[in-house]
């Protein structure tokens, strides 16, 4: 990986969290968790478009283009919706305790939050303006993503028994429909679905593993990551999975091959536990506490 640019970023030198890309508006949306705001940067060069203020403990981010908003989980126990065009806050709604990840079901206009402290998922109808239904799943939940072909939300679940699990939740029936034990994964948290829909990729933050879970056979393959793997991002064009870790180590895996196949390692910067990749340019973004700054990198030869 080579550095394309280091761009000064907004706010104080405090922890960032999840990132999403708004392709319609060419924006990179970053939760500045410990600064209480959301940074919206231009995808082209990382320059600041706007800082959305007063979003305490901003964590999960998902762009809901079909509803014209992006959603941010925040404290105390709330979901913040921001207009993707004006970048102005439009509403806040109540979630369960300790909301972390957030997913979007465009077909049914349902937004789902991972209520981490409740070990549950909240399903909020009508693009976050309707009724909220909470489904209890375990002791702790991590990230949540929507699987359009299967019409379910997948969510990582920890406890009360071992092993950790990957659970599918039907947003219409409002119940868990599939439970897959993730053997060898301790602290299941970060989550992405393979572009072909065949497997899920899970960051196991407590034992430094990447688990690839076959969604048909439920078989699990494991690979080693940096210490404290957290946020995952996929470049579908290259077929690469980026795994960012609390240690600042980046591990890259080749999803074109079966199992867990290593491409290589890099070190984007201290505490670079969050990552996003732009599939159109293959550039990879890391908000770094030191500075703060946005480090933009790209694979060698691209």
The domain locations on the chain are 2-15+101-298
* Average pLDDT score over residue span 19-46: 97
Checking if the pLDDT of 93 tops 90, the result is yes
For the cut 90, the answer to whether the pLDDT of residue 300 exceeds it is no
- Average pLDDT of the segment spanning 223-228: 97
DSSP conformational letter for 58: -
Residue 50 pLDDT > 90, yes or no?
yes
Residues 258-292: pLDDT tens digits? 999 999 999 999 889 999 999 999 999 999 999 99
Across 15-33, average pLDDT: 97
pTM above 0.85, yes or no: yes
Average pLDDT over residues 171-179: 98
Categorize the per-residue pLDDT at 158 as very low, low, confident or very high, splitting at 50, 70 and 90.
very high
pLDDT band at 216 (very low <50, low <70, confident <90, very high): very high
> Which of the four pLDDT bands, split at 50, 70 and 90, describes residue 207?
very high
- pLDDT band of residue 147 (cuts 50, 70, 90) is very high
Q: Among 54, 55, 149, 161, which residue's Cα sits nearest to residue 102?
A: 55
User: Which residue reads 């550095």 in tokens?
Assistant: 3
Strand, helix or coil at 226?
Answer: coil
- 118 pLDDT band, cuts 50/70/90, is very high
Which CATH superfamily includes the segment(s) 2-15+101-298? YVTN repeat-like/Quinoprotein amine dehydrogenase (2.130.10.10)
pLDDT of residue 301: 79
Residue 134 to residue 52: CA distance in whole angstroms: 28
Find all residues with CB under 8 Å of 210, minimum gap 6, and list them.
Answer: 201, 202, 203, 204, 222, 223, 224, 225, 229, 241, 243, 251, 253, 260
Interval 45-49 mean pLDDT: 97
Rg (CA), the chain: 18
pLDDT at 63 over 90: yes
pLDDT at site 302: 80
* Stretch 47-65: mean pLDDT: 97
Residue 242 near residue 250, CB atoms below 8 Å: yes
User: What's the rounded mean pLDDT across residues 156-175?
Assistant: 97
> Tokens 């402290």 sit at which residue?
117
For 13, list phi and psi in degrees, rounded to 5: -80, 75
Is residue 231 predicted with pLDDT exceeding 90?
A: yes
Looking at every residue in the chain, the average pLDDT score rounds to 97
- Percentage of the chain lying above the pLDDT 90 cut: 97
How far is the CA of 34 from the CAs of 12, 70, 208, 279, in angstroms?
A: 9, 19, 24, 28
Q: Once rounded to an integer, what is the mean pLDDT over residues 230-241?
A: 97
């Amino acid at each position: 990986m080579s550095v394309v640019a280091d761009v000064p970023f907004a706010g104080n030198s405090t922890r960032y969290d999840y990132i999403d890309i708004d392709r319609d508006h060419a924006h990179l949306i970053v939760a500045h968790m410990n600064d209480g705001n959301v940074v919206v940067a231009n995808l082209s060069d990382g320059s600041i478009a706007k800082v959305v203020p007063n979003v305490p403990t901003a964590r999960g981010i998902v762009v809901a283009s079909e509803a014209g908003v992006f959603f941010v989980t925040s404290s105390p126990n709330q979901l913040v919706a921001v207009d993707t065009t004006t970048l102005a806050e439009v509403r806040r709604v109540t979630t369960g305790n300790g909301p972390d990840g957030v997913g979007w079901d465009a077909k049914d206009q349902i937004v789902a939050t991972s209520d981490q402290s409740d070990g549950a998922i909240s399903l909020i109808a009508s693009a976050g303006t309707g009724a909220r239904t909470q489904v209890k799943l375990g002791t702790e939940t991590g990230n949540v993503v929507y699987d359009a072909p299967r019409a379910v939300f997948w969510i990582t679940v920890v406890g009360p028994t071992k092993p950790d699990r990957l659970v599918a939740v039907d947003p219409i029936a409002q119940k868990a429909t599939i439970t897959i034990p993730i053997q060898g994964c301790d602290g299941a948290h970060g989550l992405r679905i393979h572009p072909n829909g065949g497997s899920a990729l899970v960051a196991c933050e407590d034992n430094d593993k990447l688990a690839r879970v076959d969604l048909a056979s439920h078989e699990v393959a494991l690979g080693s990551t940096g210490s404290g793997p957290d946020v995952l991002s996929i470049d579908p064009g290259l077929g690469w999975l980026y795994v960012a870790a609390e240690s600042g180590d980046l591990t890259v895996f080749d999803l074109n091959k079966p199992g867990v196949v290593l491409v290589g390692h890099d070190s984007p910067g201290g505490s670079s536990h969050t990552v996003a990749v732009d599939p159109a340019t293959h550039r990879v973004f890391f908000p770094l506490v030191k500075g703060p700054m946005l480090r933009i990198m790209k694979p060698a030869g691209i």
